[in-house]
Every structure is written in C-alpha cells, then in structure tokens.
Structure 1
C-alpha cells in the first residue's frame, strides 16, 4: 500500500483516544452471587485482561478505529500482560505509564448462572493517572477524532481530559462508571455524549430507571442539567437516546447471554469507533448495540469483544 492510500485508509478509519483504566480481571463463576457473610463454592476461575478503559480501547480497535490510550499499570506481571495485549490489538500504548512500587489494578468478578455479575475494583496504578498525564500527552488528543473517558481513574484527570479535548475541537464521550453521586454540572457540558447505564442514569438524574419510559424521563432530566446528548443503556431492554429534541428507544437484540461483563464497554467503544469514521449517531448506536449483543454470548471481558467483520456479517 502506498503512502497516499495508507493516509486515506487512516482517515476513513478514524482515531479514538481512550483515557482510562487497565485492570486484570480475576473472574470466578458460581451458580449464584453469594450473600453477605456467605462462603459459596464456585465452578471455574480465569485471569482475563480488563478495565473499562482497556475494554473500550480494544472494542474501538476491533470495531474499526485507530486507537491510542492514556493510562497506567504497575511494573509487574499483570502490567506486562496488559500492555502486551494493547500492542497485540494495534493500540498505541505510548500514553500508558509503567509505575514502580504500585500494583496493576485488578477487578474481582463473580458471574452467576443467570449471567449477572458482581465486581470489586482495586484501582492500583489507575489511581496514579493525573491531570499532568493529559498535558504530557496532548499530542494524542490532537491526533484523535473522538476522546472517551470513564471514572476508573481520578476524577480530576477525567475532567482535565474532557476539557482539553473540547478545547481542541474533539468529540467527547463520557461513560460515567462507576458513579456513586451526581457529577458537578460543569462535567455534563464537557461531554458531547453521556453514556450511563440505568443505574448510573438514576444516580446522576435522581430519577429511578426501571423501564425505557423511565429512561426517557431521566434523559430529559440530564439534558436539563446540562448534558448535550444522552444515551442510556438498558441491557437486554436496549437503549434510550436523546440526541435531538426527542427521545428514541432502540430495542435490544434477543440473544442467549453467557456473561454481561464488558457489554457496556463494547457498546461505548463501538459507538466511538463509528463516530470517529464519520457515521451518523443512529448508525453508531446500531453498531454499538450489535457488537454488545455478540459480546454477551461469550465469556470474559476483552475476549468477548467482537471484530467489525463479525458485526457486519450479522447486520
């Protein structure tokens, strides 16, 4: 391929920058989730690359984008594996720091026979990603079309990334997870697309979300609070979007779920990848949904994320 064709391919491909976490997932399966104080026998155990940032980076890369990442791991074996995994996906890891004397982040995950999960995150090196890293790697922001953040790195870093990206004219996506309280109003205006799930939407808006109708009300409330565009993911019930004047419900794709871990990350990464290459919001939502539907039929976080050709073959 000559240089001109290569340049055209990259332009069509679109560039996505992920600012976020890298975790090693320690995944156990059990018939059900244990009750408080209960010891429950599990069935299987696996160590799998994860972290919301890492998952979204892999999803964006597999679903058609050229991807870079800003984050951190420890100087340990888990960190070595995670960085090698990014490289294997063609992800630019020049913004991923290796931090001495701090462990790589881990997530302890239990998945039950109904494919529901409970997750405990220990941030480790993710907590060392400071606003200084955003300034240090501004070139990665300049090269991006879309910048995606979550909340598994320090919040002031996320805000700095969103501000920097908007100052540089980039499309910003905020997946507010995990979140335990409403975000400052200024945050909502910095994100072009706010993508919470139903629990996060309820926390942010103060409106319980138990149905697509509730999600429409919560989305309108978040718009009134300053959000530009809102996409509320509802698992098997699909997604509610508010990107113009009206809310739209996109029904879910019926599938036999095996593991819902990283389904939301797959959606966010696919949505960002499609936006980066110039797709409409409607088409970007559909791509993200189809990819997420495939991901829940497979076990694990990053191993479950499909490639673009798999999604296109089922369109």
Structure 2
C-alpha cells in the first residue's frame, strides 16, 4: 500500500479513571468509572489522519505483551500500514495513566515502555516509505533521535514534516530548521519559546527555522504564523465537552491529512478545528475521533 502520511509513532494503552477534581498530594479517591482504551499521541494522530482519508503508515516500537498486540489489531482495523512496527520481546508496552475530571479536563502520566527503544536505525530501515510520502509527522513522545532521522530523510526527499511538540520539552537547535509545520497548544508554545504571549513566542520559533507554526487554542480555534505573512486566526467551536483526551492529536492528524491532500491553509485549519471539536463529544481518544464524512456533514450544517 502506498502511503501519503507517515507517523513516527508512540503507542500507549490508556488506563482512564474518572474523578470529580484533581487529587491533592497523598489523597486517595474512589473513581466513578474506569476505561482501558487505545492511546499514544503518535497512534492517535495516525488514526485521525486515516479517518480523514489519508493512507497512513507507522514507524513504531511496541511491547511484546497483550497491550502491544492490541495496537497491531487496532491499526489493522483502521487500514494503517504497520510493516515498520517492531515488537520488543518481553518488554512492557507504553502505558498512560489518565485522570479525567468532571469539567472534562485531564491529567496524564505516560510510561513509554518499549517505545523508548525506537532508534534512528529503525527509522532508516523505513526510508522507502518515508521518501514516497507527502507528510511525515512525529511528537515528543518518541525518542528525539528517531524524529531527527525521519525529518532528515523527509527533507532529503522533499516531504513535508510536521511536529506536534507534546509533551513540551526543550528541543535541539538542529531540529527546528527541519520542521515545516509545528503544532503546539498555547502552553507548549509559550514554554518552548520562553515568551509572554502567543505572537512573540511564534516569532521566536519562526526565527529558529520553523517553516510554519499552528498554535491550537481550544474553543478559540487556532492561529497560523509564517515568516513574512500576517497571522491567520481561525475561529473555533464552543462545545459541551465530554472529555478533551485526544483533541490535540485529532487536530494534528487531521491537519496532516489535509496537507497531504494539498488543501489550502484556511480549509486545512477549518477542517482540523472541526475534527478536534467533534472529538470532545465522547470519552477517550480513538473512540471519539470523527470520520471524514462526519466532519464534512458538520461543517456543511454550520
């Protein structure tokens, strides 16, 4: 299968407990509900892209346990190419412990497990798939060496690169010029740039070599910043939120699919905003991600 979006992916199983509000240090509270659902920023974004019509391939390393097999089964159902997914025999799969609060917000602790073993050599073995893609995306949940290798291969073959810098962490100077599109949320943007406001922070990262920056702003929508162009502010959607898990990943994956389909920026951002808003209408990440037809119908109804 020829792929147009390749994701250097993390794969976690989300263990989700629902409680009224954040725990205080040392506090124990009975949960109101519990779920075990598929997660991992890379896998989530890959599935979002696939549901928006992209042909998606993964580069990942997963556990040899039942949680690892859960990922392979999921990707097969979503028609995602997993030929470059490696299994670590005897290794524990990545796991995310998630607390969801009554207002729909959440806190997450991620253990990368076997995913921490993904190397540049694993990525280089997938050069053929990377070279013929239109978009290569990654997040900060995978080892930096793997992302650097993937983006270097992409750049050498004229393939667009997209980085979701989450969880936010300091990044090396060598990476910034390899990023064609950066998709932080507001907090991540301000942390990465060490700046007091969105526009100052965006300018700072563009000066480091980023090609375009899209900051997500929740119900306020998103904003696009590019060198030598006025910012483009795209309004969002006020929703009655069930939970926000996976909304950012849905935005990133949908944006990747739109860019792979060569949609103009205003359409790509409008579509990504809508998909992310719809993803807040059900619990969990993958379970809430809309199909392309759902996004299209919702946009047309508005």
- In structure 2, what is the Cα distance between the partners aligned to 1:151 and 1:276? 21
Does structure 2 retain, via aligned residues, the 8 Å contact 1:257–1:296? yes
Partner of 2:133: 144
Is the 1:219–1:241 contact (alpha carbons within 8 Å) kept by the matching residues of 2? Answer: no
**1:151-189 deviation line (CA, Å, top 9, x unaligned):** 1111111111111111111000001111233x2222111
Q: Does 1:260 align with 2:244?
A: yes
Q: Which moved more, 1:119-128 or 1:239-248?
A: 239-248
Work out whether 1:289 is the aligned partner of 2:273.
yes
Of 235-244 and 195-204, more deviation after overlay is shown by 235-244
State the secondary structure of the residue aligned to 2:281. Answer: coil
Equivalent residues, number:
298
Q: Which runs of 5+ in 1 are unaligned?
A: 1-6, 209-213
Instruction: Find the counterpart in structure 2 of residue 126 from structure 1.
Output: 115
Q: Secondary structure in 1 aligned to 2:282?
A: coil
| Alignment of structure 1 residues 227-238 onto 2, 5 Å | 227-238=210-221
Distance (whole Å) between structure 1 residues aligned to residue 175 and residue 169 of structure 2: 15
Question: Contact between 1:188 and 1:194, CA under 8 Å: does it hold in 2?
Answer: no
My pick for the range that moved more, 67-76 or 236-245, is 236-245
Tell me the distance in 2 between the aligned counterparts of 1:289 and 1:270.
9
List per-residue Cα deviations over 1:197-235 (Å, max 9, x = no partner).
112111111013xxxxx2222111211222110011111
Partner of 1:299: 283
In structure 1, distance between residues paired with 2:268 and 2:183: 13
Question: Does the alignment pair 1:38 with 2:22?
Answer: no
SS of alignment partner, residue 44 of structure 2: helix
Structure 1 stretches of 4+ with a deviation exceeding 3 A read none
Question: Which of 185, 188, 194 does residue 182 from structure 2 map onto?
Answer: 194
Equivalent residue number for residue 26 of structure 1:
15
- List alignment gaps of at least 5 residues for structure 2: none
TM-score norm. by structure 1 comes to 0.92
Establish whether residue 220 from structure 1 lines up as the match of residue 208 from structure 2.
no
Q: Superposed, which structure 2 residues align to 1:61-76 within 5 Å?
A: 61-76=50-65
C-alpha RMSD of matched pairs (Å): 1.3
Tell me, yes or no, if structure 1 residue 166 matches structure 2 residue 159.
Answer: no
